[in-house]
A and B are shown apart, each in its own frame.
Chain A
Amino acid sequence: NAGVTQTPKFQVLKTGQSMTLQCAQDMNHEYMSWYRQDPGMGLRLIHYSVGAGITDQGEVPNGYNVSRSTTEDFPLRLLSAAPSQTSVYFCASSYGDTGAEQYFGPGTRLTVT
């Protein structure tokens, strides 16, 4: 049981490049979320999903796309990276709903130059 896994652990992009951050969980959780963490700002919700085929926007969705074709996977796409997207990204999942205990992945540190 691997829990929540994220790849890559580190990534450096140039402005304008695109990439996908991968997230997978093997706990059969319905709810999955993406957060970004910047110094002094806690965790900010980017997008979340309440089940396969259903996604919705969080607090800071601009510049990011998501899809949820399976229960296990919830990739986050950066369409055209900007320096403002330099951050640490966490994926999380929970059983039941987002009000329940969330299990976090190890994070991806992204730098956009």
Chain B
Amino acid sequence: EDKVVQSPLSLVVHEGDTVTLNCSYEVTNFRSLLWYKQEKKAPTFLFMLTSSGIEKKSGRLSSILDKKELSSILNITATQTGDSAIYLCASSSNTGKLIFGQGTTLQVKP
């Protein structure tokens, strides 16, 4: 059965800290790994990583896919209170399914 596991489940940091969120996956016929940010409403897309694009960066956020370890990390540097959210990781396969992990709740304190 396909599975995506995120860690930690929750995290509290102070502004300016750097955080690393983890995602591991067990997916048959893996196609892509996606990261989303959710602030009270619907998730919004951050990154998509595939076998041909294993590293992505946008401002203070970056993500890497480790195909050997079947895992991905999401890094946030110089955190701000606006980064407080649930971060969701999801993995897709060629069956068409997108399976999400439990999410990591990040709280950034001033």
Contacts and interface: CB of A to CB of B under 8 A. Distances in A.
Interface residues of B, number: 26
Contacts of A31: 96
Contact of B34 (A42, A50, A58, A101): A101
B41 A40 contact: no
Interface stretch (A19-27, A66-74, A104-112): A104-112
A41 to B, nearest CB: 6
Interface of B: 4, 6, 9, 31-32, 34, 41-45, 48, 50, 88, 90, 92-94, 96-103
Given A40-B102, A45-B99, 19 more contacts: A33-B98, A40-B103, A42-B101, A43-B100, A48-B98, A97-B92, A98-B96, A98-B98, A99-B31, A99-B34, A99-B48, A99-B92, A100-B48, A101-B45, A102-B45, A103-B45, A104-B44, A107-B41, A107-B42
